[in-house]
Amino acid sequence: MRAIAEGLVTEDSPPHLIGGRERATGRVVFPCPGADTFEPVALSRTGTLWSYTIQRYRPKSPPYSGPEAFRPWPVGYVELAGEVIVEARLTDVAFEDIRIGMPLELTMIPLDPEAADPVMIPAFRPAGAAA
Amino acid sequence: MSGDVCIVGVGIHPFGRTDGLSGLDQGVYAVRQALADAGIDWPQVQFAYGSSDAAGNPDTMVERLGLTGVQFINVRNGCAAGGSALFSAQMAIKSGEFEIGLAVGFDKHPRGAFNAMPAEYNLPDWYGEAGYMITTQFFAAKIMRYMHEHGISQTSLARVANKAFRNAVHAPHAWRREPVDMETILEAPLVSDPYTKYMFCSPAEGGVALILASEKKARELGKPLVRLKAATMRTRPPKSFEVFAPSIDIGGGTATATRIASADAFRMAGIGPEDIALAQLQDTECGAEIMHMAENGFCKDGDQEAWLEQGRTEIGGALPVNTDGGCLACGEPIGASGLRQVYENVVQLRGDGGGRQVPGNPKTAYSHVYGAPGVSAVTILER
C-alpha cells in the first residue's frame, strides 16, 4: 500500500492514524508535527462522526491531486474518544445515511479509484460495515 | 493624543467584477472619493496602511496619487487584512505620531473558489493533495455541527441569504442586487452540504478607503464626528475549530478568534452588545452570519432560529445585520472586505443609507471579519 504521505498511518494491518502527543501537555493533534516537542502516537481506529459535509465540486489543482473526472465525496471530522477529532474522507455510506454521532472505523481508500497503483488516503466507514 | 480617532472620509469602488480595471485602480478610485469626502488633498495625508491579498502592493499607488514621500505600509493578514490596516492606522494616530492618515484596501481575485496552498498555512502537502484546502468545506462542516447542536434549520440559512440580496438592492456598491426568493435559494444546487450556491459568497473585486484623523483634526475639518471606539485583531485561542484544520481538540469548536476579538472590543469601547444599533458580521456563507451573531455576543447559541423568523436582523429590526447585503451580496475581495463593513457603518451613522438606512438615528455600529487560519478583527463606531 502506498499512503499519500509518510508518517500518516502505521504499517500495521489494519493501520492506525499517527497523531502527535505534545510532551509538555499531553494534548493530541493530527497529523504528528515534525517538532520534537511532540511524540508520535497510534490513534484509535474507531470513533464517532463529529461533523461532515459533501464536497460537490472538484477542488482546484494544484494542490488537489485527485482524478480529473470528479464525483462528489463526503468528508468528515471523526471524534476518537479521549484523543482528538480528525478530518478524513467518509466511505461506504450513502450521503443521505450520514449522521452526526454514527460509529465509524478507519480504512484506507484510493485517491483515484481508477489508478493502477493508487495513492491511498485515510477514510472512515460505518463500523462493522465490511468484512 | 486626547479624544478619539475619528473617521472623516470614506470612499468605495463598487464590488463585484470590473473588467479592465485592476485592483489597484479600484483602490485609487476609492482613495480619491475618500479624500473628496474628507475635504482634503492627497498631500495632507501623513501616512497610509494598505491591504491587498492578490492584487499587488498597495504602496505602489503613490505613483497615481502623488509622490509626496508619504509613509505607506502594506498589510497582508488573510481575511483580517482590512481590519489590520485600520487597526494600524488608528494606532498611528493614537500614538500621537500623526494626525491624519489613510487605511485603504482593494483586491481582485480569479473566478471560482479561493485556491490556498498548504505550505502557506504551515500544513503538509498531502492535506491539499487529498482535497482539503477548501474554505467552503470548513464552513460547511462548522455549520453542520452547529445546526446539530443548536437546532438551526436550513430555512434559517436561507433567510440570511434572502435578507442579504434584499438589502443589497439599496446598496449601490453591492454586486448582487436582485432579490432571490426563499424557494430558489433552498432548491439551488448544493455546493457543500447544507449550503446551496446562494448561501456562499464569491471571491470578487473592489476597493475601500477610509480617512482617519485625531479628534482635534476632525473638528478642524468640520466633519460629523464618527468615533472609532475600538478596533481589535486577534488570532485563535486553544480548542478552536478554524479554516484548514486537520484536527480539532476534543471538546473544541466553541472557542474562536472572533469571541476574543469581540470581547476585547466591547471592553475597550466600554459598552455591551445590547448597546449596538447595527452590525456588519462576516457572512462569507449564511451560517457564518448566524454563528457570528452568537460569537460576537448578540444572542445565545440557538436563539438565531427565532431571531431570523421574527426578522430581528432586518433593516427595521432590533439589530439590523449586514445592511448592505454583506459578503453574500458584495462578494469578498479579501483586502477590501473588512473596510467595506466600516464604510457601510459610517454611511449608516451619518444617515446616508437611503433605501437601506437603519431607522431611529443609530448612534453605534459594529463590524466583524473572520478568516483563515483563525483570525478576526472587530471595530465599534460611535457617533
pLDDT tens for each residue of B160-182: 999 999 999 999 999 999 999 99
- Render B246-291 in DSSP notation, one character per residue: SEE-TT-SSB-HHHHHHHHHHHHHT--GGG-SEEEE--SBHHHHHH
* CA–CA dist B369, B322 (Å, integer): 12
Average pLDDT over residues B335-361: 97
Specify if B360 maps to a domain.
yes
Q: Which residue of B has its CA nearest to A76?
A: B141
pLDDT at position A129 over 80: no
The shortest CB-CB distance from A51 to any of B115, B144, B191 is to B144
Same domain membership, residue B217 and residue B145: no
Could you give the CA distance from residue A79 to residue A81 in angstroms, rounded to a whole number?
6
Nearest-CB residue to A53 (from B130, B144, B148): B144
Q: Are residues B278 and B301 in the same domain?
A: yes
Residue whose C-alpha is closest to residue B256's, from B234, B281, B285, B282? B234
Question: What residues have CB less than 8 Å from A35, skipping those under 6 apart?
Answer: none
pLDDT of residue A131: 45
Nine cell digits for residue A25: 501537555
pLDDT digits (tens, 9 = 90+) for A47-102: 999 999 999 999 999 999 999 999 999 999 999 999 999 999 999 999 999 999 99
What integer is the mean pLDDT of B130-159? 96
Nearest to B164 by CA among B282, B251, B50, B47: B282
Residues B242 and B271 in one domain: yes
Cα B123 from Cα B137, distance rounded (Å): 16
Q: Are residues B83 and B198 in the same domain?
A: no
Task: Determine, yes or no, domain membership for B383.
Answer: no
Residue of B115, B120, B126 to mutate when probing chain A, most A C-beta within 10 A: B126
Q: Do B193 and B243 have their domain in common?
A: yes
Nearest neighbour of B124 by CB, restricted to A31, A64, A86 = A31
- Asked if B178 and B100 sit in the same domain, the reply is no
**Across residues B117-123, what is the average pLDDT?**
89
User: Do B293 and B172 belong together in one domain?
Assistant: yes
- pLDDT band for B372, please (50, 70, 90 cuts): confident
How far apart (Å, rounded) are the C-alpha atoms in residues A116 and B303? 52
Structure confidence at residue B78 (pLDDT): 82
**With an 8 Å Cβ cutoff, is B273 touching chain A?**
no
Shared domain check, B287 and B192: yes
CA distance B163 to B179: 8
Q: Given the DSSP bridges, would you call strands B71-75 and B47-51 parallel, antiparallel or unpaired? A: parallel
Q: Which residues of B touch A5 (CB under 8 A)?
A: 124-126
B129 and B107 in a single domain? The answer is no
Pairing state of beta strands A84-90 and B247-248? antiparallel
Q: Using a CB cutoff of 8 Å and minimum separation of 24, what contacts does B91-98 make?
A: B92/B47, B92/B49, B93/B1, B93/B5, B93/B212, B93/B213, B93/B214, B94/B1, B94/B5, B95/B1, B96/B1, B97/B47, B98/B46, B98/B47
More confident residue, B147 or B80: B147
> Which residues contact residue A32 at a Cβ distance below 8 angstroms, ignoring those fewer than 6 apart?
A7, A18, A19, A20, A38, A40, A41
d(CA A53, CA B143): 9
Residues whose CB falls within 8 Å of the CB of residue B122, separated by 6 or more in sequence, listed in order: none
Residue type, B186: L
Residues of A in contact with B118 (CB under 8 A): 63
Alpha-carbon gap: A124 to the closest alpha carbon of chain B (Å)? 14
| Contact (CB, 8 A) for B83 and B228 | no
Number of domains in chain B: 2
DSSP B205-241: EEEEEEEEEEHHHHHHHT---EEEEEEEEEEPPTTB-
Residue B38 belongs to what domain range?
5-111+205-227
Question: Judging by beta carbons within 10 Å of its beta carbon (0-12, 13-18, 19+), is residue B295 exposed, middle or buried?
Answer: buried
Which of residues B2 and A19 earns the better pLDDT score? A19
Substitution target from A8, A51, A86, A93 for chain B, most B beta carbons within 10 A: A51
DSSP H or E segment with residue A104: strand A103-110
Share of chain B above pLDDT 70, in %: 99
* Cβ <8 Å between A51 and B129: no
Q: Residues 134-153, chain B: which have Cβ within 8 Å of A? A: 134, 137, 140-142, 144-145, 148
- B260-298 pLDDT, tens per residue? 999 999 999 999 999 999 999 999 999 999 999 999 999
Q: What is the mean pLDDT of residues B309-332?
A: 97
pLDDT (average), residues B237-254: 91
pLDDT at A123 exceeding the cut of 50: yes
Cell of B30: 476609492
Q: How far is B198 from chain A (nearest CA, A)?
A: 14
Give the three cell numbers for residue B83. 481590519
Q: What pLDDT sits at residue A101?
A: 98
Measure the CA–CA gap between B4 and B16, rounded to whole angstroms: 33
Q: Which three cell numbers stand for residue B194?
A: 447544507
pLDDT digits (tens, 9 = 90+) for B8-54: 999 999 999 999 999 999 999 999 999 999 999 999 999 999 999 99
Specify the pLDDT at position B46: 98
- Whether residue B191 sits in one domain with residue B58: no
SS3 B299: coil
Pair (B163, B255) in one structural domain: yes
Is the model's pLDDT at B113 over the cut of 80?
Answer: no
Which domain-ending residue is among B177, B194, B227?
Answer: B227
At what angle are helices B81-94 and B334-350 packed, to 10 degrees?
60
Beta-sheet strand order (sheet of B100-108): B71-75, B47-51, B100-108, B205-214, B5-16, B226-235, B375-382, B364-371, B278-281
The answer to whether position B219 is within a domain reads yes
- Whether residue B263 is contained in a domain is answered as yes
Asked if residue B287 lies in contact with residue B136, where contact means CB atoms within 8 angstroms, the answer is no
Distance CA B295, CA B282 (A): 11
Mean pLDDT of chain B: 95
H-state helical runs in B39-150: 62-65, 81-94, 125-129, 135-150
> What is the ipTM, given to two decimal places?
0.95
Domain ranges of chain A: 2-126
Is a pLDDT exceeding 60 seen at residue A130? no
For the four alpha carbons of A99, A104, A106 and A109, in that order, the dihedral sign comes to: negative
Contact status, residue A59 vs residue B131, Cβ threshold 8 Å: yes
Pair B144, B220 in one domain: no
Q: Which of A112-116, B285-289, B311-315 has the lowest mean pLDDT?
A: A112-116
The whole-angstrom distance between A50's CA and the closest CA on chain B is: 7
What crossing angle do the helices spanning B286-295 and B154-168 adopt, rounded to 10°?
100
CA-wise closest residue to A75 among B138, B146, B251:
B138
> What pLDDT sits at residue B254?
87
**Beta-carbon separation of B125 and A63 below 8 A:** yes
Task: Supply the CATH number for residue B31's domain.
Answer: 3.40.47.10
Q: Quick check: B243 pLDDT over 90?
A: no
Cα dihedral sign for A62, A65, A66, A72?
Answer: negative
